[in-house]
Amino acid sequence: MTDHPLSKDPTPDPAEFNAFFPSPFSLGQFTSPTVTIEGADYAAPYTGSRKILMIAADERYLPTDTGKLFSTGNHPVETLLPMYHLHKAGFRFEVATVSGRSAKFEFWAMPVEQPEITGLHAEYLPQFLAPKNLAEIADSLDETSDYLAVFIPGGHGALIGLPESKAVARVLDWAMANDRHIISLCHGPAALVAAGRGKASPFKGYSIAAFPDAVDRQTPDIGYMPGGLTWFFGADLAAQGVTIVNSDVTGATHQDRKVITGDSPFASNALGKLAARALLDEVAKA
């Protein structure tokens, strides 16, 4: 008796016409009920009141070049594993979305047997369901604002709305002008495109790790998405003067000044450690 190979056909999402989840083959290759959590013990966690502003994706359906929709959102591992490290290091989050509507998640990628991750999701669920409106936060920012950093999770949901958002641009401009950390990974850096629309990007001359366009062009072949992307954020960032340092996904992280990035879900643990240490060092100087 032989095992049947997993299908590479995307799985229909019954909640929406012409929408699809990743194929069984893709889920078998790139998701797991558990994740590796390493190095999350911080001897002297932060005890202050300053927070991290999370800009979460609030749209689920990404149009592809076939006309079919990819059922996406914030990737759970790329959201919650970096959060876990920062949470253990004493930092708390304020969740915001462009619309003020709920943050969306790719629950097909949730590590459901990892209580540290599912527990953190439950703790922040009230904020994920009722986040702040990002434009209102952007209106209130000045040099005295107490956000230590801006965190933009990964997931293809970051490609929907964030790169065009004036509120995202204003928050990123504020962070760069006021020497705050910016933390992101995988497709999250697509949001940085917003800061360079119609003007010179504050990220010009920076280098980052992110999900490469070349790999994104391959994902339809294994049914991860029901079609190809209609645009590629790496090309847009390159046109704005930003260099992506990786050409593959290996779990790499990268820090250029106060911009801390990672290439994929495989970088989530290392990114969390890197960001937690950077912010602990920052508050120790205050």
Q: Kindly report, residue by residue over 15-47, the tens digit of the pLDDT.
A: 999 999 999 999 999 999 999 999 999 999 999
Closest CA to 137 of 164, 102, 166: 166
pLDDT confidence of 5, banded at 50, 70, 90?
confident
Banded model confidence at residue 260, pLDDT cuts 50, 70, 90: very high
CATH number, domain 19-285: 3.40.50.880
Give the pLDDT mean for 82-107.
98
The β-bridge partners of 149 are 52, 181
What region, left, alpha or beta, does residue 18 occupy, with left being phi > 0 and alpha being psi -120 to 50 degrees? left
Q: Which two tokens stand for residue 57?
A: 């994706």
Q: How many other C-beta atoms can be found within 10 angstroms of the C-beta atom of residue 41?
A: 8
User: Does residue 195 surpass a pLDDT of 60?
Assistant: yes
CA gap 218, 215 in Å, rounded = 5
CB contact at 8 A, 111 and 132: no
**Mean pLDDT along residues 53-79:** 98
Q: Residue ranges of the domains in the chain?
A: 19-285
What's the token pair of residue 286?
A: 């205050």
Q: Residue 161: its pLDDT value, please?
A: 97
Q: Note the pLDDT of residue 247.
A: 96
37 counts as catalytic:
no
Q: How much is the pLDDT for 184?
A: 98
Tell if the pTM clears 0.85, that is, is over it: yes
CA distance 185 to 150: 12
Write down the pLDDT at residue 29.
92
Per-residue confidence (pLDDT) for residue 4, from 0 to 100: 63
- Residue 286 — very low, low, confident or very high, per pLDDT cuts 50/70/90? confident
Count CA within 13 A, CB hemisphere, residue 213.
12
What digits encode the pLDDT tens for the residues 139-178?
999 999 999 999 999 999 999 999 999 999 999 999 999 9
Q: How confident is the model at residue 2 (pLDDT cuts 50, 70, 90)?
A: very low
What pLDDT is stored for residue 3 in this prediction?
60
**How many other C-beta atoms are found inside a 10 Å radius of the C-beta of residue 30?**
18
Q: What distance in Å separates the CA atoms of residue 54 and residue 50, rounded to the nearest whole number?
A: 13
Catalytic pick among 54, 186, 244, 274: 186
Backbone Cα Rg of the chain:
18
- Strand boundaries in 64-152, DSSP class E: 69-71, 92-97, 132-133, 147-152
Contact between 90 and 46 under an 8 Å Cβ cutoff? The reply is yes
- Strand ranges in 90-249 using DSSP code E only, listed in sequence order: 92-97, 132-133, 147-152, 181-185, 207-208, 243-244
**CB atoms closer than 10 angstroms to residue 94:** 14
Task: Using a pLDDT cut of 70, give the percent of the chain over it.
Answer: 99
